[in-house]
Amino acid sequence: MVAPINKLNNSTYLFVKIRETSEIFRPVKRAIFCLAFLLTISIILAGCSGDELDLPIYQPIADPPIEVTLEQLFNDYLADRNAADVKYNEQRLLFKDVKVEKTGGEWVYIGLGEWVFEKTFFTSESVKFRLRGEDYGIMQNIEVGYILNVVGESRGLISSAYGNKEQILVDDCWVESVVGDLGTNVYEDPY
């Protein structure tokens, strides 16, 4: 119940007037709050819309390697060395099911009168394979009789250190075991 204005003192009158004024503007305040809330939500949703997103496009890092057999590679070099160099040199080549026929390397002195044999390559038919430097540990696990899938770069025809037999050098190789334990289950993507 509100007392008549003439019976209220000045401070009470002022309180009643402020209260009446705030009650009048309460719906306006609610409307402004709702509009501000809706505007904030619409700005957030507009920023999350998929219309403006540019999705990344798949681009391969390198071309896939050229699949070739050991026989095909060696026969191409026997037929025409220059043409084979143009076709294969500096190309990434994929050889499937390569059987390791021989491993080779060098003796390294590790101190205190101890020497250790470090494998640096393996051969199959007339092709010599050398692994990448970071795969040193894997190279030490390769044994004669293992069957591997190999990706590497052809470096051309080289003379064998033992006699006059020529070999094709495939360098910077990545290997995956088909038969044999390389000591790892993790194989990087070759290309």
The pLDDT tens digits for 20-30 are 555 666 777 77
Residue 186 carries which DSSP code?
A: -
Could you tell me the residue ranges of all domains in the chain?
A: 5-52, 66-179
For residues 17 and 91, the model is more confident at 91
CA distance 149 to 133: 18
pTM above 0.75, yes or no: no
Tens digit of each residue's pLDDT (9 = 90 or more) over 156-170: 888 766 666 788 999
Other C-beta atoms within 10 Å of 120: how many? Answer: 15
Q: Of 106, 125, 105, 122, give the one whose Cα is nearest residue 173.
A: 122
Residue 32: predicted pLDDT: 82
CATH architecture of 66-179: Beta Barrel (2.40)
Q: Using CA of residue 140, residue 174, residue 126, residue 128, what is the dihedral sign?
A: negative
Model confidence band, residue 130 (pLDDT cutoffs 50, 70, 90)? very high
Query: 124 CB contacts (<8 Å, ≥6 apart)?
Result: 70, 98, 99, 100, 101
Model confidence band, residue 144 (pLDDT cutoffs 50, 70, 90)? very high
CA distance 89 to 73: 11
For residues 100 and 186, the model is more confident at 100
